[in-house]
Structure 1
Amino acid sequence: MKRVLLTMALSLSLASTATAAVPVWGAKQSSAADVPPSQLKPGEWIWGGRGASPGPMAVIVSLTEQRAYAYRNGILIGVSTVSTGKKGYETPTGVFTILQKDKDHHSKKYDNAPMPYQERLTWDGVALHAGGLPGYPESHGCVHLPTEFARLLFESTNMGMTVVVAKEGTAPVTVVHPSAVIPIDPRNGADLDLPPLAEGEPYRWNPDASPTGPISMVLSVPDGRVVVFRNGIEIGRSRVEVNDPLTGTHAFIVGQGYMADTPNRAGLRMPNWITIGIPGHGDEAGKVVDDALADRVAVPREFMEKLLPLLTPGSVLLATDESMSPASTGGKVEVIDSNPPGV
């Protein structure tokens, strides 16, 4: 028995030593999804993603805001405060891809300094990694992230993922001040300049823009719009009307089966929707959406006839009372992601 206890104590000691070896910068837990990004204090962050979820990822680093935004399949899943390059060591702007990943990286250039969860952007030393977060640019060119956010991002990303670094005056406002929907093409980082619906145009549908992949959607009540993404690329958008809308941000995922055995009054069979508990709203998780709530949303029938065949278990919808238009005033950021049911 003593030997067993000694072995357990030694194992725990080794585990504690290994954990302690990783420096901890920033908050250890996510802030609520309703916290405006401008109100995140140095080291604070929001994360609503899961590593196993489908869809391409992309990251936008706003040097102007000193924040990083992580998107999956067209929808924002995380935002974090950062510290970028100080004067004389400015972080370069542009479009990058992850060239190398090293969970336990130590810098050869800076006296073996720890750079946990490093994701290299350039071969001359610029990378995303956990590091100090004083609330202003203070790195030697890298993008410092809170340790736990860096870990979550590291576990979710792949080699070759697009990272865009932007600042005021060098990039469109949609990229400098990102919002809930992705402002770039996740495949190459090119700016997405999709025009709004024209006067009298009820919807736009272009499935050939991305023929395959998972579906995700964002519905903005004040904009009166729903935008559909497939594999991270917008394939359609439509005008919508929402009666007696819910306040705040709510996330839903398509489950198995249909909401009713027979078509609704519009003659369409709607899939079952289940509420997802996003950070700060964990109590909403697992609730089944009833017909009354679904009937509050009016969408052009022709658009729904095109969309419904694409909705499969795991498709995600984010409904928000915030505009999808970019703003630097710190409006709420919606964070949503989930694994398909049964995965």
Structure 2
Amino acid sequence: MLRRIAFGLGLLSATMLSHSVLAETAPTLQIIVSKDNQTMTVYDGDKVVGTSRVSTGKAGHRTPSGIFSILEKRKYHESNIYSNAPMPFMQRLTWSGIALHEGHVPSYPASHGCVRIPSDFAKTLFGMTERGVHVVISDEQVIPVPIRHANLFEPLKPLPTEPLMSDIELRPTVKRKTSAPYEVAMNSAERSPDMTVTSSISMEEDPAPLKMLIKRRDQRDTILDVQAMLNELGFDAGTPDGLAGSMTRSAIAGYKRWKELPAGGELLTQEFLDALYRSAGRDKPPAAQLMVRQNFKPVFEAPIGLSRPEIPLGTHFFTASDVDRKHETAKWHALTLTNVLSPSERQRMGIKADALPSTATEALDRLDIPSDIRERIGTLLSEGSSLTVTDEGLGPETGKGTDFITLTRSSATVAVTKPEPAQKPQRRRAAPRSYRNGVGLY
């Protein structure tokens, strides 16, 4: 209780715009930064906990827009790019160098890409957040609104544990001349690699929040299918990872020789894919992919249905709160971010050039999620779980030690063709997929 009171007082002292509404738990907090009006609003569901002025990236060092989460926290940090500049109460959003931190906050964008926060607000917010809390950075102001939909997951009661003893007749293998009871040892049933731990979840304990992403299937997903099917058929395509490495290419070449398919040209031809799906006895997958992470690690992914694929989904973010496993209910909130697709991206995705993005409700209407997947997610759903629905696949910032990071672009951002001349050093942007600890922040 004292912690909650301190949080409310700290937010009030940080800015005249703060509200006295107190957050109940850190997992349900959501931080929204508006670059248009240089403000930060902290929500618990749709309740405003507090607001503050901020300063985002100036021209040439623009703060990226999108959906992030807090990856790392340090009370004191120094930039290893910009002359060891102090960055107190740092909360990292990307491994390539974007963070929330205390700093000078004028009434305009002035940072080198990070989001600067006034001192008192930065300190108090640091004390209330934890790794995994969502941060949305938008070009325009967005507000989470309550939403109800059949395709938003609901928590399920934990499944009963398997019986310890089977119903087979027990008998000793060695005869003994004694009336004392026998002690019987039994092997537990083996668990398949993809079994969840749902049976160990009690009604009182919730697992860590799930972070879910629904996107259009892309070449990575197709390669994952190809690798799995080739391995099933006896071709060694290596561990399925969605990358067309040397082992995967060799296995594809071997399959093409077996089926007398053309060896040259494109690696994944439609003729090859049709033949491989037939050989494996599989139907072609639907148009979308659901991916699930927990504690910054992949849990599972599976194809799901998407109707009218020629219409853009848009980019929508849904968060769960008031998760009641006993009564199998949850409250969801939604917000929509502007995300402009280029003509070449629309063409690659098979989207009509003049088609408008779906609203959040329309996007959910178009999804077909199998019941077994819904049940699996329902048994793990907890406070602070989230779902992102977007047309684009995994961005360059999503990787080891992150949740799903979705970058978005407004029409103004798309129009920018090159940074201002004075921007440097460029090498910090050269390898965004390295995901190393200690990458310089600014």
Q: TM-score, normalised by structure 2?
A: 0.32
Greater fraction of residues in strand: 1
Greater fraction of residues in helix: 2
Tell which structure's C-alpha radius of gyration is larger.
Answer: 2
Q: TM-score, normalised by structure 1?
A: 0.40
